Amino acid sequence: MSRGDFWSRRQAAVAAEAEAEKQAAVAAQSAARDAELAEQSDEDILAALELPAPESLSEGDDFKVFLTDQVPARIKTRALRHLWRANPVLACVDGLVDYGEDFTDAACVIEGLQTAYQVGKGMTKHVEALAQEAEAEPVAAGSTSEEQPVAEPEAEAPPVLHALRAEAAPDLDANGTPKTVAAQGVTPAQPPAALREDVAQPTETHIATAPGRMRFFFDEGRT
């Protein structure tokens, strides 16, 4: 830490202390003056300050004389209230002011009107109700699927149908060939010899050999 930084901070601290003491003195004087003026009436204060009554002013008059530090707050409020009534520009309420209407008028409220908004919670209750409904839908779908009737197994075919199926089915020997075909001396068709050779012998794949590594020879005598 340099010596210059120390003295800079020290000077700033001394200046801040002096400013705080000055503001404290001004606040004390203002409190004493307000306490003294609180015991006087508005007419006495206006007479002492040589000011007219705020209600006597009209549009175009100077209301700044009531906004000085010597005028107490209650007289400033009187002057501003009269200024708002005296000036038509300030008295005209803009139609775009959304807070200019009286929302406490019971005649404009719908009967039985309710809101899902809760102070400090917002729309939490409404959102929780929607979440519960969403959770209940899969449960209801599962219960519906469980209640669906299970298909009953088909009734067993009568013995007569089994006998007809047995007569229609061909009689096979141990090799799976119909006995009528074996009795006539007919042999099943065989695949061609070339196809059998292709199936028996796997195809040979040509494996390409990698090229040899290149070698370079340099004359050691050259520079």
Are the beta carbons of 109 and 102 closer than 8 angstroms? no
For residues 47 and 52, what is the distance between their CA atoms, to the nearest angstrom?
8
Sequence length of the chain is 223
Q: What is the pLDDT of residue 223?
A: 47
> The whole model's pTM is what?
0.35
CA atoms within 13 A on the CB side of 83: 14
How much is the pLDDT for 148?
A: 58
Per-residue pLDDT at 110:
78
Q: What angle do CA 124, 127, 133 make, to 5 degrees?
A: 140
User: pLDDT exceeding 70 applies to what percent of the chain?
Assistant: 58
Amino acid 216: pLDDT:
75
Question: What are the tens digits of pLDDT across the range 45-92?
Answer: 898 889 999 999 888 888 899 988 888 888 999 999 999 888 878 777
Q: What is d(CA 126, CA 11) in angstroms, rounded to the nearest whole number?
A: 60
Helix spans in 39-106 (H): 42-48, 73-86, 88-91
> What pLDDT, on a 0 to 100 scale, did the predictor assign at position 109?
73
Cβ neighbours of residue 122 under 8 Å, at least 6 residues apart?
Answer: none
179 in Cβ contact with 172 (< 8 Å) = yes
Q: How would you write the pLDDT of the chain (223 residues) with one tens digit per residue? A: 566 688 889 899 999 999 999 999 888 888 888 888 788 888 888 988 899 999 998 888 888 999 888 888 889 999 999 998 888 787 776 666 777 677 677 777 777 777 777 787 777 877 888 888 988 887 666 665 555 555 555 555 555 555 556 555 555 666 655 555 545 555 555 555 555 555 445 555 555 566 677 777 777 655 4
Classify residue 71 by its DSSP letter.
S
DSSP secondary structure code for residue 21 in this structure? H
Calculated CA dihedral for residues 176, 182, 185, 188, nearest 10 degrees: -20
Q: Contact at 8 Å (CB) between 181 and 173?
A: no
Residues in CB range of 191: below 8 A, 6 or more apart: 199
